[in-house]
A and B are shown apart, each in its own frame.
Chain A
Amino acid sequence: MTALSPATARDQMQRLIDAVGQVLVGKTHAIELALTGLVAGGHLLLEDLPGVGKTTLALALARLLGLSYQRLQCTSDLLPADVIGVSVYDRRDGSFRFHQGPVFTQILLADEINRATPRAQSALLEAMEERQVSVEGRTLALPSPFFVLATQNPLEQVGTYPLPESQLDRFLMRVSLGYPARAAERELLRGRDRRELLSELTPVLSLEVLQQLQASVATVHVSEPWLDYLQHLIARTRELPTLVHGLSPRAGLAVQSAARAWALLHGRGHVVPEDLKAVFPAVVGHRLRLRNDADSAASVVAALLREVPVP
């Protein structure tokens, strides 16, 4: 797979962002982060209230990329077989045939993932990590690209199973969409039906270009001063008294690949500290455990970024 030049990569990604922006108004930063996650090959956790556009975002991405799309509504009676698939006896053949579950798709929207039981959650999350599933002794590869957009409602709701930290770590980023701005909401209210708009979307990026973009991420140059900066930040999380524990090396790798994708999105062949700062809150926010519930991860991360000097 040949890598694209930074400028081409930026233009391609920008086209996609503009197209999504037609449907999901006023959420450029969230769309950019989502695309960054997709290009960096990670999965996305959308944490927000119902009705702010999570599904719209997932659908728009699937349609604009021409990818297959499945939606998995997580409930407390969801079983692993409902995710992965099930073998059914075929009377004609006299044998069992495997019926693929919703996980066999390119873009999977796992809605309200924290409503599923830990058993169903782990089946999904393992598939996310391995990009393959094992059924009855056979290993079936998942399609490529495989991009999961999981949503969850804020935790203080009844009947949910919060994802444990080890599972949260599987998500490259956690993004909140939030309420739209006043003008954006007005446009939404005046505009046409979202479903109608979505159905009209046509692919703007081919699968090949997406794979080229993913391949380009690895070519983005990472300099020594930039790595110093990343390491200082990570080291600081490990000594902050407000945190139960600091960031893992895996978190460092995640920040690096997200920052590379972000640099690409902005047409740079190298990462600058600003790239790191742009993706840092989304990448590490869900990986930090606060000692005091009264603080928010966002404020701690913001304070951290204000504290560590840029080399």
Chain B
Amino acid sequence: MTAAAPLGRAQLWWVIAVVSLAVAPHAPRLPLALPLCFVAFAGWRMLGAYGRVALPDAANRALWWLLQGVAVLTFALIYDHYQGQLGRDAGVALLTTLLGLKLVELRTPRDFYVTCLLTYFLVATNFFFSQAIPTALYLLGVTVLTTAALARANTPPGVSGPACGWLAVRMVAESVPLMIVCFVIFPRLPGPLWGVPTDSSQAITGLSDEMTIGRIARLGTSDEVAFRVDFDGVRPRARYLYWRGPVLWQTDGRTWRAGPQALSEPPPVIARGTRYRYEVSLEAHGQRWLPALDALTSTSAVGSLGRARELISTQLVKRPVRYTVESAVDYSILEISPADRAAALALPPGAHPKTRALAQSWRTRDPAPGVLIDTALALFAQDPFTYTLLPPLLKGDPIDGFLFATRAGFCEHFAAAFVVLMRAAGVPARVVTGYQGGEYNSLSDYFLVRQSDAHAWAEVYLAPRGWVRVDPTAAVAPERVSLGIGSFTERDGALRLLDDKGMAMALWRSTRQLWDSANYQWSRWVLGYDVERQRGLLESLGLQDLSPAALAAWLGGLMSVPLVVLALLVLRSPAPRKTPAGRAYARFCQRLARVGLVRAPHEGPLEFAERIALTHPDLALQTRHIAQLYALVHYGDRGAALHGLVQAVRDFRPRRR
């Protein structure tokens, strides 16, 4: 490569800007020293460009050695910080550092191109950490800017910056079809790339398999998405939207647990009326439970039924999952095994003395289970019981304290107290946790269930009717069930401001719905495009059972067809066949090129001959003669001169001096 012109300041600004933009999202993930080093490297280069500081180069050996030292130090830092594990994080750290070092060394256009290409790669590495829509949009922007930087370096100086930007936008837009083909056809790997853990396995929120008083309140204020449900056709009415999660049988007086699963088959369900078919897109929560509408009438490949007909995943839900199941809201579960009956009546010995005494007194008055339930619900409906997401602390026995002292709490207090009352009165009962309600998104026709929709209710076993759902919270705060938790969080929290202004609230709601709808479609069609979806899509296109190798072949084929067509068009159009004179002249040029005299494509024959005559007077006579003969034949249509031309070229043997 010839010595190229050094990089201009404008180009330096461009490349440093795009690299910095690509590094920026990584910065919080790296050990603090590395982003600082990167800024220092970029600053060094920029100050150097303005002549404020010296740059390390051949002329400045000391600085060059300093740079080597800094490089070794940063590598050591990376090795130390990541304990020598070369994985995703260490790899990104290394790449960022290398790019920073490269910035100091930016000298030739070649450095510029290499850095821009590495920037594309760095942009891609950001997807190891986040695949959300804002990330994708940001990285798309950086990609366009990087392309614009390349365009800037390759267009004549007259083209303005915005024009380069537009060119980049156009080029990126033109690559979209290819991107879609690659996305659809490129062989999918089952599971994440290189065992890279996904974002969602960290900082998981959601229901757990146990319930300790106070836990659901924390969920109640979390706006995070728990899952989304897309009903196939009709959807049930809001009051039936009880999403069954872990069913809790065992208690030690304070904490409720699911307890062991029975080995026998779950009790059968007798469904009446409409069966609702729906697809649940569950966010990762790190547990095993899978929410489903009460009561499930089908099962799914992703999980099996538990002893209370709850759906349990075969493995921990560490990545978002999607499954389709069927439910009926009008149903009966009649069977109860002796073991289940015993578990549904068990109370820890010695716990809740006051509650037991109250239940005993009810039982002696009227032992009919229906009456007992009504009595308990009537108790909750009485005045001193209030529903609040910020209950006072319970000291001593939590159930006794709640029923007889504080009398303020939320769903889990009421559900737990109710189940304890029922069990003490001899009615089999269990706590069911899950979610209640959901926000209907009319834009994309699905329900969004947030962590704040987490709920707990009770189920009691009544002799002829089987397991019956009783929601004691509904007795004290019916609007919790009919309006959803929003009516409470908003009253308590900061959203109250918006509550006063109906318009603002509606606007806020619809914006949120729009955003969630976009997220849903994104996770469904882009992030959720996995091996199965790909197979399904390709099968619908008539491509069954393709191996990854066959897919790669298809991909190569699809991409090469337009390329071949393009190549043929390009090859066919200009380049006319050479005339005899053209061939002779080409030979003449070839011989001159061999001795280092290359004709520029824009040089006419006479010009070229004059240039040679100037630098190589010994060749002047011959080259001028040949050039004139060629011009005569080629541009003057004097065929008679052809013979002379061919002869002259044959005799022309330039030698290297």
In the complex, 29 of the A-B residue pairs with CB atoms within 8 angstroms, ordered by the A residue number, are A221-B635, A221-B636, A223-B635, A223-B636, A225-B635, A241-B158, A242-B158, A242-B159, A270-B631, A270-B632, A270-B635, A270-B637, A271-B635, A272-B604, A272-B605, A273-B605, A274-B604, A274-B607, A290-B158, A291-B158, A292-B158, A295-B157, A295-B158, A300-B158, A306-B602, A308-B602, A309-B601, A309-B602, A310-B605
A241 with B159: CB separation less than 8 A: yes
B636 with A270: CB separation less than 8 A: yes
A226: Cβ under 8 A from any B Cβ: yes
Question: What residues of chain A have their CB less than 8 Å away from a CB belonging to chain B?
Answer: 221, 223, 225-226, 241-242, 268-274, 277, 290-292, 294-295, 300, 303, 305-310
Q: Which residues of B contact A270 (CB under 8 A)?
A: 631-632, 635-637
Given contacts A290-B158, A292-B158, A303-B156, contact A223 B602 (CB under 8 A): no
Find residues 146-170 in chain B having any chain A CB closer than 8 Å to their own CB: 155-160, 163
A243 to chain B, nearest CB (A): 9
Q: How far is the CA of A223 from the CA of B636 in the complex (A)?
A: 6
B159 with A223: CB separation less than 8 A: no
Given contacts A270-B632, A290-B158, A295-B158, contact A277 B637 (CB under 8 A): no
Q: Which residues of B contact A305 (CB under 8 A)?
A: 602
Q: Which 10 A-B pairs have the closest CB atoms?
A: A270-B636, A309-B601, A273-B604, A242-B158, A274-B604, A223-B635, A295-B158, A272-B631, A274-B606, A272-B635
B174: Cβ under 8 A from any A Cβ: no
B634: Cβ under 8 A from any A Cβ: yes
A270 to chain B, nearest CB (A): 4
Output the nearest chain A residue to B155 by Cβ-Cβ distance: A241
Output the nearest chain A residue to B167 by Cβ-Cβ distance: A241
B640 to chain A, nearest CB (A): 13
Contact with B636, one of A242, A269, A294, A303 (Cβ below 8 angstroms) = A269
B603: Cβ under 8 A from any A Cβ: yes
Q: How far is the CA of A300 from the CA of B156 in the complex (A)?
A: 10
B539 to chain A, nearest CB (A): 46
Given contacts A241-B155, A295-B158, contact A310 B604 (CB under 8 A): yes
A271 to chain B, nearest CB (A): 6
Most chain B C-beta atoms within 10 Å of own C-beta, residue among A226, A272, A290: A272
Contact with B601, one of A241, A268, A310 (Cβ below 8 angstroms) = A310
Q: Which residues of A contact B601 (CB under 8 A)?
A: 309-310
B208 to chain A, nearest CB (A): 62
A124 to chain B, nearest CB (A): 34
Output the nearest chain A residue to B581 by Cβ-Cβ distance: A225
Q: Which residues of A contact B156 (CB under 8 A)?
A: 242, 303
Contact with A307, one of B160, B602, B632, B636 (Cβ below 8 angstroms) = B602
Find residues 90-114 in chain B having any chain A CB closer than 8 Å to their own CB: none
Q: Which residues of A contact B636 (CB under 8 A)?
A: 221, 223, 268-270
Output the nearest chain B residue to A277 by Cβ-Cβ distance: B604
A241 with B163: CB separation less than 8 A: yes
B645 to chain A, nearest CB (A): 14
Q: Which residues of A contact B163 (CB under 8 A)?
A: 241
